[in-house]
Amino acid sequence: MFSFKKCGEKSCHNFIFNGGLFCLKHCARESHTEKKALEFIRDTQLIQNLNFQFMKFQDFSFSGKHINSCFFKNCSFRNCDFSDVQINQSFFDFSDFENCTFRKSTMKFVSLAASDFHHCTINESDIFHSNFNGSKISSCDFSGNDFYFSAFLNGNLKQTDFSNCNIKKVSFVFSKLDGINFKFSNTQEALFEMSGYQI
């Protein structure tokens, strides 16, 4: 697992950035440090036990990579490709995803809580026991996936396609659902109580 040591900057509660003494925001050469981290991810197939908090990814490919026990909290992802990626026990909370693609990807025990997804595509993917709680999801295509035992509690979902999905034991409780397509998905095995949504 990545280091749980706190940043050396007084009053900062973020974790240190990959072996340094400070978080990315308080690194003396933030842009250089971020560039080196991008190069490392690009050139590495197995990425594990590292902290990439606050990084910005633009037109970046994670395709085919294995990501284990990593910390991507407060990151931004623009036009990124996550096809054929395998992500296990990692954190993407409070992050922004725009025009990103997940195709034939596998995510297990991944937290994406309180994140924003806009114009993103997730297709033909297995997403098990993962957490989208409190997320804002709009104008996305999430069709043809297995979301078994994942959670979308207290979220705001708009104009998004969940058709032909396995949503067994998936919870949408307390979420606001507007213009969601569940055609051919097993809604009878999902949880919608108190969401105010009518199938």
HSE-CB for 84 with a 13 A CA cutoff: 5
Query: How confident is the model over 150-172, as pLDDT tens digits?
Result: 999 999 999 999 999 999 999 99
Q: Distance (Å, rounded) from C-alpha 114 to C-alpha 29? A: 29
Query: How confident is the model over 63-106, as pLDDT tens digits?
Result: 999 999 999 999 999 999 999 999 999 999 999 999 999 999 99
Q: Distance (Å, rounded) from C-alpha 158 to C-alpha 173? A: 15
Classify 89 as helix, strand or coil.
coil
Domain 48-189: which CATH class? mainly beta
List the Cα angle 182/186/189 in 5-degree steps. 120
